[in-house]
């Protein structure tokens, strides 16, 4: 089916997202008559917008999806989920995590999955301040915070900035739950219905396939939005966060998301009941 339709789409300027959406927003593949009016923002802004219902389709943290699942349906493609991809808690020097209640911690947003994992692993860690994710390392280096919760390319850059890893919360999740870690997903308004959601889902999958077909080339859409990131870091970022689960969550990925919902509910962090399916 072909549409004559414009849909708003939000994602981050990080290489994994621009890699995913490049082909579909820049007319490199058939989009079935759908024009995607896209905006790029940091993940916490997208989370806030999702809670406001601002966009038709958006990247969001799975933590935010917990609270918007009645409005948005999860697509099977586009997710950041896997092993070894979790957020890291870092500091300038080794610290005793038994004393985490006294730490002043910089986080990339209260609505992020990173913060959800920190809350599940360390419920006593309450002294948190939101910063834009790419400002956290410098804030810890400068001594403004005892520790910082880093995501995205921070995983590849914190050591060269003199920071030390206190805990890998992805490892904590994987070892505790025996499941890959769900970080971010792509959701679409439930009101659009299954047919249109399925069409967009397939377009995203085709867009990912186009990018992999042309890899290791990095298109200007990826490099221009990577904000002074080294090419080696861009490639590591893509290879880590764009994996088999990104093309299709499958049974294992779906189970990991269900587990996240269950654990959040048990911890009293879930604001609304799950619908019959998190998908469309």
10 forms beta bridges with: 39, 58
Nearest to 210 by CA among 113, 77, 65, 100: 77
Would you state the torsion angle of the CA atoms of residues 240, 116, 149, 75, taken in this order, to the nearest 10 degrees?
A: 30
194: how many CB neighbours lie within 10 A of its CB? 12
Catalytic residue among 67, 76, 152, 237: 152
Helix (H) or strand (E) holding 197: helix 194-214
Active site residue 67: no
CA atoms in the 13 A half-sphere facing the CB of 240: 22
End-to-end CA gap in the chain? 18
89: how many CB neighbours lie within 10 A of its CB? 26
Structure-token match 């995607």, residue found: 36
Preceding omega of 216 cis (within 30 degrees of 0) = yes
3 state DSSP class of 131: coil
Structure tokens at 93: 């020097």
Helix (H) or strand (E) holding 15: helix 15-25
3 state DSSP class of 271: coil
Contacts of 191 (CB under 8 A, 6+ apart): none
Active-site residue numbers? Answer: 152
């Amino acid at each position: 089916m072909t549409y004559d339709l414009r849909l708003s789409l939000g994602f981050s300027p990080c290489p994994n997202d621009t890699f995913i959406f490049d082909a579909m927003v820049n007319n490199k593949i058939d989009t079935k008559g759908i024009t995607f009016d896209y905006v790029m923002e940091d993940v916490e802004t997208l989370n806030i917008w999702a809670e406001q219902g601002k966009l038709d389709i958006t990247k969001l943290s799975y933590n935010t999806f917990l609270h918007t699942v009645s409005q948005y349906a999860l697509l099977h493609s586009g997710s950041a989920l896997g092993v070894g991809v979790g957020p890291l808690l870092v500091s300038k020097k080794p610290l005793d995590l038994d004393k985490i209640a006294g730490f002043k911690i910089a986080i990339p947003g209260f609505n992020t999955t990173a913060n959800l994992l920190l809350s599940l692993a360390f419920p006593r860690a309450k002294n948190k301040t939101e910063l834009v994710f790419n400002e956290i390392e410098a804030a810890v280096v400068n001594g403004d915070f005892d520790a910082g919760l880093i995501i995205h390319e921070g995983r590849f850059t914190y050591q060269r900035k003199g920071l030390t890893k206190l805990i890998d919360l992805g490892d904590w999740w994987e070892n505790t739950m025996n499941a890959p870690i769900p970080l971010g997903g792509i959701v679409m308004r439930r009101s659009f219905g299954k047919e249109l959601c399925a069409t967009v889902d397939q377009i995203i999958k085709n867009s990912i396939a186009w990018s992999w077909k042309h890899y290791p080339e990095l298109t200007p859409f990826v490099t221009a939005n990577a904000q002074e990131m080294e090419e080696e870091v861009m490639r590591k970022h893509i290879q880590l966060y764009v994996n088999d689960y990104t093309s299709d969550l499958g049974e294992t990925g779906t189970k990991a998301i269900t587990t996240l919902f269950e654990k959040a509910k048990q911890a009293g962090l879930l604001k609304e009941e799950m619908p019959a399916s998190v998908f469309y």
